A and B are shown apart, each in its own frame.
Chain A
Amino acid sequence: MISVESIRIQDFRGIRDLTVKLDGKNFAVCGPNGTGKSGIVDALEFGLTGSISRLTGKGRGLLSVKEHGPHVNSRGKPQQAIITLDVVLCETGKKAKITRNVKSPKAPVIVPEDPDVRAAFAYAEKHPEITLSRREIIKYILAEPGVRASEIQALLQLEKLETTRSLLLKIANASAKELRPLELARNNAADQLMRAMQISDLKVAVLLEAVNRQRTILELIPIEKTEATTNIRDGLESQSASAAKVPKAQAKTDLSSAHAAIEALRALKTAEAWLEALQKIRMLKANEARLAQISRDAMLKAALEHFDEQSCPVCETPWQPEDFRAVVAAQRAALSEAAQQRAEAEQSLASLLTVLEALPVHLAPLIEHCRNLTEPIDPQALIGAVEAVNLRAQAVHSFLPLDATMAALENEITELAPANALLEGLGAAVALLPEPSARDAARDILTRGQERLEIWRGAAHDHSKARIKSQLAAQVHSIYGATCDAALETIYKDVEAEFRALYRTINGDDESAFEAQLTPSLGKLGFEVDFYGKGFFPPGAYHSEGHQDGMGLCLYLALMKHLLGDGFTLAVLDDVLMSVDAGHRREVCTLLKTKFPKTQFVLTTHDHVWLNHMRHSKLVEAKSALTFRKWHVDHGPSEWKDSDVWSEIDDLVGKNEIRAAAAQLRNYLEYVSAEWCARLGGRVEFKSHGKYELGDLLPAAVGAMNSLYKKAKASAQSWSNQRMHDEIDANHDVFSKAASETQAEQWQINPAIHYNEWENLQRQDFEPVVGAFKELERQLQCPACGDGFYVVHSGNEKESVRCACSNVNLNLKMKPR
């Protein structure tokens, strides 16, 4: 997998042209709502996957990537909406670049085009779950068990397992179904063979005994054993007489079995199974249209897989993704119910079908006998009956249309009456046949026996082959079910343990014995959590929203660990922890930093305090953050860059637009004073509404720096470092003068007066005010690297004041006595 070095966003979502350098490190994007943070999240996701989950999937209504991915000013120009990502392949350190535009999201330009680079980007493309918003994170926690199971299965990308399971089942069912007619053919062939050989059991010994009895009559050598190629007529060809055209004994047996088959069919009409099957089919009639479409399920499933979030993959009709999925899902659900009903009805018909299909088999040899008589009988009545019964069997077998099946079952088979009459005539003709001599009868039996033995061998071979296939398919499906279920259970248990451990990490203060249960069952995934030892409940039952957010994050991280393993090198968390209270944010930061050291987190937040937590805990470095201050529809977001701000203010002052300049200055000072307080430990009086003004922040920041200078001087003295002391003292003087010029302390008394005064100043009066604050900011930054000073802690103790390049390094620790 990869980490992101930088991203360039052009004409995409709310951003016109922005480059963000992440340097492969954790990165935070902070700014009020509507300043463009999510544009960066969308850009990262689009750059890696070619899609934007915010614009696709459930609840996205009329949104689409192609229509709404480009900046609003570039509507209809998706080729101008371009994302370029510079990345590093984590395993090898190789650098690569991927460029995608919204017009051709699935055809990125990759440089270099090396196989390992393409593989890394292909891997990233398959994992849109690296981007996570709060809306998505909470669904794992609060969803219904069925929905949760599908969401988590989707996250873990388990669809492949379900596809394989259903295909293996389909093959096993089809193989079992293919077996039935072959079994019928084999049994019929066996029946014919037994009748030809006048035996009632098709065992080798019984058959050989019957064969050798006839061979003895014909003075042929007995056959001692049967093999696949054994011919029971062996030696008969050398004897001159040929077999009778209609062997009397055989014909009598065939007649008798044909009568029995007709009788069995007649008896069916009053059988309970027959009536039950008819009843089921009548009930299905109302749903026949759906039944006819069962085979469309595979097509519907494929349509879902190939849906590009914009138009139907079959007819290209534009669809809203949510509507398309809902329509297809409803059709598939109805088809699934219909398929179940059909399977039940077909099962009821199976035994009836056996009787129906047996009749033509019994009538077929009699047609031959009719033709072979010295005075042939027209077998048309029998042929008509065979055709009629075959048509009915076919209709029942086809099942649809239901009218044809019902007609096949309900209507009298009128062709049976003339067939019966013909059988009577045939019986009389057979009775008149001369009784064959013992030798002729033996010859007839062996000749017919050999013919039917060959047919039986073929049928038995086909059936045996199909049976082996059917058993194999059933065995493989059974092993699949067992291993897959066991493996999934293990996965869920592992995820459960990982989740529990992660959650305990962030809530160790009051839920150190926290327990959780993930319980998979029949397409559902139950999820209950322990509430302070009082029992297990759904996560939304008693835990606060903040705790639920924490659970969502922990479950997501546990799942991602299982999904990606070492490949979990990048995660984009879009304002996911807004409800987590300040007390637990530090633990969240520690969790991300310590438990996922190889993962690059890109985090967005609208809460500046949250950003400071990330910085203080070193989850993100001071420079690995971007703070948006405002957003303009034509220009996109703008950052809090001091150089830009001062230029803007100077420009406004130059144009004598003092009111605007004053507003800009105050706005910036509120932002930067909060930064100074966070970095230097400025003490600000708590306000429950959380809104701090310049009067709250600026004096606190100045006071904190003064205090730090004093502490640094005392430290230098304790170490007897006079030179250092004097140097710090000189800097402190300069700082104090700069602070004094801004009248910082007076802001605390009545900020409104000062602000209103600014607005009424003339250019020449306001310029010194701007100059004073510029100087104050300079005094709080390193002259070498430009980074603001910050306090380094050792435990709860302030250790030093530093900057990013360590050019500034004021020791605060006293020499031990």
Chain B
Amino acid sequence: MSDLPEQDENNLPVADRVLLKFVDALALEESLRDVSARLKAVLISDKPITELALRQALFNESDT
């Protein structure tokens, strides 16, 4: 886990601000709230976005 302090939302990179709008739009669908939360953790992060991470977040799959 990073110990870097979290950024203010207004100071997030433009791409992250757009991605936040996306996860917020997902969360509007009740059935997609969990997916939204999992995708947010993958997308709004300093780690590179990978297909595996997105699949796991999307389908709630584990590493194994």
CB pair A161 B58 closer than 8 Å: no
Count how many chain B residues have C-beta atoms less than 8 Å from C-beta atoms of the other chain.
31
Contact segment of A51-59, A112-120, A205-213, A280-288? A112-120
CB pair A563 B3 closer than 8 Å: no
CB pair A122 B4 closer than 8 Å: yes
CB pair B35 A472 closer than 8 Å: yes
Q: How far is the CB of A112 from chain B (nearest CB, A)?
A: 14
Q: Determine which of A157, A167, A475, A488 lies in contact with B32 in the assembled complex, contact meaning CB atoms within 8 Å.
A: A475
The proximity string for B residues 15-48 relative to A, scoring 1 for CB distances below 8 Å and 0 otherwise, is 1111101100110010010010001000100001
* Interfacial chain B residues near A168, Cβ < 8 Å: 54
* Interfacial chain A residues near B14, Cβ < 8 Å: 156-158, 491, 562-563
* Interfacial chain A residues near B35, Cβ < 8 Å: 472, 476
CB pair B51 A170 closer than 8 Å: yes
CB pair A156 B15 closer than 8 Å: yes
B43 and chain A: residue at smallest CB distance: A164
Bound-state Cα–Cα, A156 to B15, Å: 8
* Interfacial chain B residues near A475, Cβ < 8 Å: 29, 32
Q: How far is the CB of A114 from chain B (nearest CB, A)?
A: 10
* Interfacial chain B residues near A115, Cβ < 8 Å: 3-5
Q: Which of A373-393 contact B (CB under 8 A)?
A: none
CB pair A483 B22 closer than 8 Å: yes
CB pair B25 A483 closer than 8 Å: yes
Q: Determine which of B11, B26, B49 lies in contact with A164 in the assembled complex, contact meaning CB atoms within 8 Å.
A: B49
- Is A567 part of the contact surface with B, judged by Cβ < 8 Å? yes
Q: How far is the CB of B25 from chain A (nearest CB, A)?
A: 4
Q: Which interface residue of A118, A123, A126, A167 has the most chain B CB atoms within 10 A?
A: A167
Count how many chain A residues have C-beta atoms less than 8 Å from C-beta atoms of the other chain.
40
- Is A344 part of the contact surface with B, judged by Cβ < 8 Å? no
Q: How far is the CB of B48 from chain A (nearest CB, A)?
A: 8
* Interfacial chain A residues near B59, Cβ < 8 Å: 469, 472
* Interfacial chain B residues near A567, Cβ < 8 Å: 11
Q: Determine which of B10, B15, B55 lies in contact with A565 in the assembled complex, contact meaning CB atoms within 8 Å.
A: B10
Bound-state Cα–Cα, A164 to B21, Å: 14
* Interfacial chain A residues near B43, Cβ < 8 Å: 164
- Is A727 part of the contact surface with B, judged by Cβ < 8 Å? no
* Interfacial chain B residues near A487, Cβ < 8 Å: 17-18, 21-22
Are A161 and B54 CB-contacts (below 8 A) given A476-B26, A564-B11?
no
- Is A480 part of the contact surface with B, judged by Cβ < 8 Å? yes
Q: How far is the CB of A140 from chain B (nearest CB, A)?
A: 16
CB pair A161 B18 closer than 8 Å: yes
Q: Which of A286-337 contact B (CB under 8 A)?
A: 305
Are A160 and B3 CB-contacts (below 8 A) given A472-B35, A480-B22?
no
The proximity string for A residues 150-173 relative to B, scoring 1 for CB distances below 8 Å and 0 otherwise, is 000000111111011001101100
* Interfacial chain B residues near A469, Cβ < 8 Å: 59
Contacts A156-B14, A491-B14 supplied; 5 other A-B pairs, CB < 8 Å:
A157-B13, A171-B51, A472-B32, A479-B25, A479-B29
Give A contacts to B, CB under 8 Å. Answer: 115-116, 118-119, 122-123, 126, 156-161, 163-164, 167-168, 170-171, 305, 469, 472-473, 475-476, 479-480, 482-484, 486-488, 491, 562-567
